């Protein structure tokens, strides 16, 4: 798994017949600068770019997020809010998984090397090239469990 710079992204895009547009480079930088554990939806990214004075349309953002997820640069996450979130796809040992409360959407990141090893072994056995391996566990957090209990 590659940690992408603008140069490596440009090379990979060119290899596939695409180009590194200023919008794609700007979006890559936003994700590179995100604090650990922060995930952005397309709308979150749009608002963040808007406050920075970047005029990138929401449709361009959606297309770029999909492209970068297909390339393995970004991880596409279902965090239980009815829309996808994205984060930079970090190589081992920064690789992590998500525990998500289905009531309040609190998300906890956790590491488990066994999951990644099983994913890599399975992909290799079938002749696939692993881009990402993620486990999302949907549960109810202790706080929401307490609110469900009768007093």
133 is in an annotated binding site: no
Write down the pLDDT at residue 19.
83
Any known ligand binding at 144?
yes
| Calpha distance 74→4 (Å, rounded) | 10
User: Is 104 marked within a binding site?
Assistant: yes
Q: What is the pLDDT of residues 26-48, one digit of tens each?
A: 998 898 888 877 889 999 999 99
Cα–Cα distance for residue pair 36/22, rounded to 1 Å = 24
Question: Out of 8-17, 96-105, 107-116, which region has the weakest mean confidence (pLDDT)?
Answer: 8-17
What pLDDT score was predicted for residue 64? 94
Domain 95-150, CATH: 3.30.1490.190
Q: Evaluate the CA torsion angle 125, 15, 26, 93 in order and state its sign.
A: positive
Range 1-91: architecture per CATH: Orthogonal Bundle (1.10)
Is residue 138 a known part of a binding site?
Answer: no
Model confidence at 1: pLDDT above 50: no
pTM above 0.75, yes or no: no
* Domain spans, the chain: 1-91, 95-150
DSSP SS3 for 25:
helix
């Amino acid at each position: 798994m590659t940690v992408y710079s603008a140069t490596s992204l440009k090379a990979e895009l060119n290899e596939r017949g695409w180009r590194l547009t200023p919008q794609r480079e700007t979006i890559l930088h936003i994700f590179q600068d995100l604090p650990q554990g922060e995930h952005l939806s397309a709308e979150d990214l749009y608002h963040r770019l808007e406050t920075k004075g970047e005029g990138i349309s929401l449709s361009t953002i959606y297309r770029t997020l999909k492209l970068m997820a297909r390339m393995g640069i970004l991880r596409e996450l279902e965090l239980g809010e009815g829309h996808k979130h994205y984060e930079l796809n970090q190589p081992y040992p920064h690789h992590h998984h998500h525990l998500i409360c289905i009531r309040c959407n609190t998300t906890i990141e956790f590491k488990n090397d066994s999951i990644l090893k099983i994913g890599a072994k399975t992909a290799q056995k079938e002749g696939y090239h692993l881009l990402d391996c993620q486990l999302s566990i949907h549960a109810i957090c202790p706080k929401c469990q307490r609110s469900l209990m009768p007093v």
